[in-house]
Amino acid sequence: MNTQQLGLLAAGLGAMLTGAGVVAESDTTPFTWGADVRLRQTWVDNVGHTADSATADRTFQRYRARLWGTYAFNDHLHASARLLWEGRHYDEPTRTDMPTLETWYSGGVLLDQLMIQLDQLGGLPLQIKLGRQDIRLGNGWLVFDGTPLDGARSIYFDAIRATYTLESHGTTLDFIYIDQNADTDRFPQPLDNDIEDQIEQHETGFILYGRNSTLLPDTTLDAYALYKHNRVSDTPNTLRRNNGMIFPSPSDRGDIYAAGVRAEAKLTPNWALRAESVYEWGTRNDRDLRAFGLNSRLTYSFKDALKNQVHVDLEYLSGDDPDSAEDEAFDPLWGRWTQWNELLIYHWNLDARGGEATNLQRLNLGWIAQVHPTTQLLLDYHALWADELSTRVTAQQPNLSGDNDFRGHLITAWLKSTFSPHVSGHLGAEYFMPGHYYADTRQDDSFFVRAEVVLTW
């Protein structure tokens, strides 16, 4: 990044922050806007569970700035947009060890939200959101991140979402159509004309999602049906480019159907439970798909001054039986994000794809406490197993031992702070000790450390 680029960035940030200050003065106008800046420093050691690789250690900084605005034409019609830029600087690996790396990645400049919202359409309890938007269903297990290759720079979906509210029955019904392009070369294109890969394949889908909060006391019940079509995005040697890095990751193709249920209940004043299960079927990469997943958490809240909580998680994601003609590997759909850890997203591609959790049995014990009025402490231990001794493609089999299903031990610790409405941040550390599911050449411990500060106006 040269001096001119740095100057433009500084000027742009200054304009964003100056403009954001007008928000407080514009509360009575139909136009509101705001901004935030996210600064991250990340260290990752022994990516791939091996210290022998010249690219196993990663040290980099991320700088993200966003500016957004909403215009209310009336009580029933709103238009909104959000512009983001995120650049990176890589200390490790070096260009010598990874020649395709952009040491100073000048960043993508794009709209990650561009949406029209219609409320009370035709006098009905109906809301429609049309355009680029964020979508989270349940706790985001299957539907949250539409752009998994950009490392949480964005999570957007190009979608139409219609929500019908039956208030007297405590019920909402969501009808969602999704149309995701594999790269950013579609309207609205990046302002800097830098086209990057966001996912490995073109994706379209339909979701019907129902939620009820009155059928059972202190319980929210969800049920859903989902369809996802994957169409190959051809790139030379399946190479993808994003965030200044080039890496191989193959496309999926086929049609996936899923049906699931979810419950979140307050069992007593102290005990709470959430659980979700889903069955998947269809075709994936010319094989019949039959897969199952379960995700659950039982929480005990002490109701004390520190708001202490302990929880137990159980998660099951089916793996592909190597002796079966069918494909039993669970598909996370639009849930390829860091749901319970940050470190292993760098390692899933040893037997799947980056960020693609599958073939997994997970037992988690955790503790959460409000150690300061501004700060929450989260400590977790995860024991991880593979459901099957299998990989996505044959070329990945040397990464596994072939005779043990224990993936390893993961310990995570996070401090998350909100100092004011304008300043927040976190400090996190994670440590993974690989089990003998992995080959002898992949037995080195790995760690992840990140510091983050977010400024919001």
**Across residues 18-45, what is the average pLDDT?**
77
Q: What is the rounded distance in angstroms from the CA atom of residue 252 to the CA atom of residue 250?
A: 7
**Across residues 103-110, what is the average pLDDT?**
94
Residue 33, H or E segment: strand 31-45
**For the segment 390-440, what is each residue's pLDDT rounded down to a tens digit?**
999 999 999 999 999 999 999 999 999 999 999 999 999 999 999 999 999
27 C-beta neighbours (distance < 10 Å), count: 7
Q: What is the rounded distance in angstroms from the CA atom of residue 340 to the CA atom of residue 360?
A: 13
Identify whether 305 is part of a domain.
yes
- Residue 25 has a pLDDT of 42
pLDDT at 3 over 60: no
Range of the domain at 264: 31-114+241-456
Identify whether 73 is part of a domain.
yes
Residue 90, H or E segment: strand 77-92
The domain that holds 277 is classified in CATH as: 2.40.160.100
Identify whether 315 is part of a domain.
yes
pLDDT at 8 over 80: no
Total number of domains constituting the chain: 1
- Residue 284 has a pLDDT of 98
**For the segment 386-396, what is each residue's pLDDT rounded down to a tens digit?**
999 999 999 99
416 C-beta neighbours (distance < 10 Å), count: 16
**For the segment 301-322, what is each residue's pLDDT rounded down to a tens digit?**
999 999 999 999 999 999 999 9
Q: Are 147 and 198 in contact (CB under 8 A)?
A: yes
pLDDT at 196 over 50: yes
Identify whether 232 is part of a domain.
no
- Residue 155 has a pLDDT of 98
Average pLDDT of the chain? 94
Beta bridge partners of 59: 43, 92
Q: What is the rounded distance in angstroms from the CA atom of residue 239 to the CA atom of residue 145?
A: 21
Kindly state the tokens that stand for 307. Answer: 């708001």
Identify whether 145 is part of a domain.
no
Identify whether 181 is part of a domain.
no
Q: What is the rounded distance in angstroms from the CA atom of residue 411 to the CA atom of residue 431?
A: 5
Would you state the torsion angle of the CA atoms of residues 143, 148, 150, 151, taken in this order, to the nearest 10 degrees?
Answer: 80
Q: Please, which pLDDT band fits residue 441 given cuts at 50, 70 and 90?
A: very high
Identify whether 357 is part of a domain.
yes
Q: Please, which pLDDT band fits residue 27 given cuts at 50, 70 and 90?
A: low
pLDDT at 24 over 70: no
- Residue 28 has a pLDDT of 74
pLDDT at 12 over 50: no
Q: What is the rounded distance in angstroms from the CA atom of residue 226 to the CA atom of residue 223?
A: 10
Per 3-state DSSP, what percentage of the chain is helix, strand, and coil (rounded to 5)? Answer: 10, 55, 35
